[in-house]
Chain A
Amino acid sequence: MKVAVVGAGPAGVRAVEALLAHDIRPVWIDEAMDGGGRIYQRPPAGLRRDAKTLYGFEAPRATALHAALDAAKPRADWRPETLVWNIRPGQRQLSTLSAGRQGVVEYDAAILCTGAMDRVVPVKGWTLPGVTTMGGAQIALKSQGCGIGQRVAFLGSGPLLWLVAYQYAKAGAEVVAVLDTTRFATKLAAAPGMLRGPATFAKGLYYIGWLRAHGIRIAEGVTPLAIEGAGSVSGLSWRDAKGGVHRVECDAVGLGWGLKPEAQLADLAGIPFVFDAAQHNWVPRRDAAGRTPVTGIYLAGDGSGIGGAEVAEVAGARAALALLQDAGRRVETAALDRKLASLGRFRVALEKAFPFPSHLAAGLPDDALFCRCEGLTVGELRATTTGPAIPAPELNRAKAISRAGMGRCQGRVCGAAAAEILAAQLGCSVAEVGRLRGQAPVKPIPLTATP
């Protein structure tokens, strides 16, 4: 049986490991050079640091995952630096691109572990050099030993906000402000549920406490006003919960409001998407074991709905077992199923603690750019709902009219905000405005790529 696994982060590694344990040697494809996923990405040669410095509290998990990754690579048909840019579920084929060459991988069953990226809300001035995603700021530090600037402000919400700010301060960068758009009261209300994942909760409190103890400026319940600068970032302004306006001088800003699935391949595979109210996002439909309505396609990890790295490891192994079960093998799944169920309950609490700030996207000024690829303003998107073109009752019509989501990132970056802006303009829910449909190639491929 031909099995393909896409992705070599926590879910992909554990999926491949489980397949190998049952004598299946999958084709294993990853876009990065060395696997590990975004969270456990290892720096290139020359920058090797010990796991404790790189991954902090997560060092034991990172080390264990790297060991599994390195053990599995030679046993699988390992293909790093390879992009899967299309999937043809009818023919059961993946279209790949590696070092400028196109290829085809045939499969009987495939497990997609495509991971996540930052969920962002545009802020006026967010295209200025000096602004990165929170994940990008973390990659610069972990994988390149660099800070995104000399004086850095962090803006957003969620566990990564505090973690990245802490990592920067520890590395010797000047963190000038940590601005959380979530009010303290919202987080507090979710605390009882968060206690279901005591380790995660305690780590979060530790970072916040550390930042406070080191005198770093922290504000909660803020509304970002603008990232300022001519040619590059020179400051950031915001409004506090009581209406006061503040500004810090900085030369870099890290932005992020949690993560969103990189689910483009699942979309192209024809898997229906459902609106997940807790995550406030569209996720591909799958059962708890990772089975989808499309025969032969399984999903695991953050690419199938955000659950975090710990969940991804369990889900990757579980999806591999589902594949084996469907192929008629007898496997034991009860322990994994129990673990997934208990981790899932903590996730719901986390989403409640850091809800997506719909109001911020909806409240953006007309002259703010929301689409980096096509240079579109919020006003241009809002205008699609009135005339003179056909009114846009949903996202794909707005896309046809305004080119929103048609750019080179395919709506990865602006999609979440575009949905909020349209929904607010039309007076309906984000679930009702729909979701941008995916198209191949999932990432731009050079026209010169040789077949």
Chain B
Amino acid sequence: MKLVRLRDTDRATLHLTLEGSGLAALEGDTVLTALLAGGAGHLRDSEFGDGHRAGFCLMGACQDCWVVVEGLGRVRACATLAKDGMKVRRG
């Protein structure tokens, strides 16, 4: 899944890592936006072998966007703001 930036692109750049690789995002992005607009494709794998997941509700309800952020532990990517230097792992 690739989020397409349509508006408000004139923002400061943030640098995150996903599984150790660098990923650029914009200030004001959620972790979900940072990852899915940044080309991560998905956020987690289903525990039941049915493939990738990339969130669903984007409003903190479905819990299908869990990722792990160093220092914060397991978070909902859609309900967590991205910060410069964040180290993210897929959930």
Bound: A171/B4 CA distance, A: 11
| A147–B4 CB distance below 8 A | yes
Bound: A43/B28 CA distance, A: 8
Please indicate the chain A residues that have their CB under 8 angstroms from the CB of B73 in the complex: 446, 448
Q: With A172-B6, A443-B63 in contact, do A372 and B56 touch (Cβ < 8 Å)?
A: yes
Q: Is A127 an interface residue (CB 8 A)?
A: yes
**One of A133, A233, A413 near B1 (C-beta < 8 A):** A233
Instruction: Give the interface size bracket for B toward A.
Output: 35 or more
Q: Is A321 an interface residue (CB 8 A)?
A: no
| A127–B50 CB distance below 8 A | yes
- Most B-side CB within 10 Å, residue of A31, A141, A145, A148: A145
Distance (whole angstroms) from the CB of B9 to the closest CB of chain A? 7
| B48–A374 CB distance below 8 A | yes
| A136–B33 CB distance below 8 A | no
| B58–A133 CB distance below 8 A | yes
Distance (whole angstroms) from the CB of A136 to the closest CB of chain B? 3
Q: Which residue of A lies closest to B10 (CB)?
A: A46
| A231–B48 CB distance below 8 A | no
| B57–A129 CB distance below 8 A | no
| A144–B62 CB distance below 8 A | no
Bound: A446/B60 CA distance, A: 14
Bound: A232/B54 CA distance, A: 9
Q: List which B2-55 residues lie within 8 A (CB) of chain A.
A: 2-9, 11-12, 26-30, 33, 36-37, 41-43, 46-55
| A127–B46 CB distance below 8 A | yes
Bound: A251/B1 CA distance, A: 7
| B9–A145 CB distance below 8 A | yes
Q: With A127-B51, A448-B73 in contact, do A135 and B59 touch (Cβ < 8 Å)?
A: yes
Distance (whole angstroms) from the CB of A293 to the closest CB of chain B? 26
**One of B6, B48, B56 near A146 (C-beta < 8 A):** B6
Total interface residues on A, CB under 8 Å, equals: 54
Q: Is A128 an interface residue (CB 8 A)?
A: yes
Q: With A136-B59, A409-B62 in contact, do A150 and B4 touch (Cβ < 8 Å)?
A: yes
Distance (whole angstroms) from the CB of B24 to the closest CB of chain A? 15
Q: Which residue of B lies closest to A44 (CB)?
A: B28
| A375–B50 CB distance below 8 A | yes
**One of B12, B27, B42, B59 near A117 (C-beta < 8 A):** B59
Instruction: Please count the residue pairs between chain A and chain B whose beta carbons lie under 8 angstroms apart in the complex.
Output: 150
Q: Which residue of A lies closest to B60 (CB)?
A: A31
Distance (whole angstroms) from the CB of A19 to the closest CB of chain B? 26
Q: Is A444 an interface residue (CB 8 A)?
A: yes
Distance (whole angstroms) from the CB of B39 to the closest CB of chain A? 12
**One of A44, A49, A133 near B7 (C-beta < 8 A):** A49
| A146–B5 CB distance below 8 A | yes
Please indicate the chain B residues that have their CB under 8 angstroms from the CB of A118 in the complex: 57
Q: Which residue of A lies closest to B46 (CB)?
A: A375
| B54–A412 CB distance below 8 A | no
Q: List which A130-160 residues lie within 8 A (CB) of chain B.
A: 130-133, 135-137, 139-141, 144-150
Please indicate the chain B residues that have their CB under 8 angstroms from the CB of A128 in the complex: 51-52
**One of B12, B33, B52, B62 near A231 (C-beta < 8 A):** B52
Known: A141-B6, A413-B61. 9 other contacts (CB 8 A): A117-B61, A129-B1, A130-B54, A146-B37, A147-B6, A149-B3, A171-B6, A172-B6, A231-B52
Taking Cβ atoms with an 8 Å cutoff, the residues of B that contact A are: 1-9, 11-12, 26-30, 33, 36-37, 41-43, 46-64, 73-74, 78-79, 81
Taking Cβ atoms with an 8 Å cutoff, the residues of A that contact B are: 31, 33, 38, 43-47, 49, 117-118, 127-133, 135-137, 139-141, 144-150, 171-173, 231-233, 251-252, 262, 369, 372-375, 407-409, 412-413, 443-444, 446, 448
